[in-house]
Amino acid sequence: MKPLELISFDLCPFVQRSIITLLKKDIKHKVTHIDLKDKPEWFLKVSPLGKVPCLKVGDEILFESAVINEFLDEITGGEFLPKNPLEKAKLKAWSEYCSALTMTQFAAMAAKEKESYEKNIELFKVQLGRLEEHASGGSTFDPSGFTLTDTCILPVLQRTKFLDDYFQTKILANYPKLTRIGLAHLEQSYVQDSVPRDFNVKLLNYLNNADVYLVE
């Protein structure tokens, strides 16, 4: 296998999806962190969209977390997506749904004003409710077992738990199926090691420095 290097920002939930996949599948890799506020010239040359994650596969570059994750799965057995085309497509659609969910969550956390925060956090709850409605695997989203959709859900759940713990938002209590997924995975090494050891502190500092409504 060609050497793999993931180019990352350590608080990015989209990067975290790919690191969870790498760790869960025990794929040898290197992670290189960059500062998104001061992107190095070499990164801008290799990242067509100027976004993380990017995966260097030897001298080749892949971008977009969904593409990266599917590639990682395919080169290591493909067990994180069903073989049936329809079932595979359904899970890929839910992974895409989680991208919208992730962006809504970020919009709420990054909101500067109360009105914007409340609008986005309510939308986030509605979107979580739709995900909760379709979760049917017990400790995973799908009954087939751990899939790439779970790698998209877990960063959202980790940040939701952060909101509950630090800002008493009491969100997860309303979503028992998603809570069960979180309980099964958030303390596992493939999630814990997918973020910095001081993740909560770093995220809190990020919000403080951004002067958002949550930390007023």
Catalytic residue (one of 12, 54, 98, 152): 12
| Lookup: tokens for 180 | 């069960």
> Is the alpha carbon torsion for 142, 144, 147, 150 positive or negative?
positive
- Phi, psi (degrees; rounded to nearest 5) at 62: -115, 145
C-alpha dihedral over 131, 132, 133, 136, to 10 degrees? 100
From CA 131, how far away is CA 128, in angstroms rounded?
5
Number of Cβ atoms within 10 Å of the Cβ of 138:
13
What does the CA dihedral 84, 25, 12, 126 come to, rounded to 10 degrees? 40
Residue 54 appears among annotated catalytic residues: no
Which candidate, 133, 137, 162, places its Cα nearest to that of 149? Answer: 137
The catalytic residues are 12
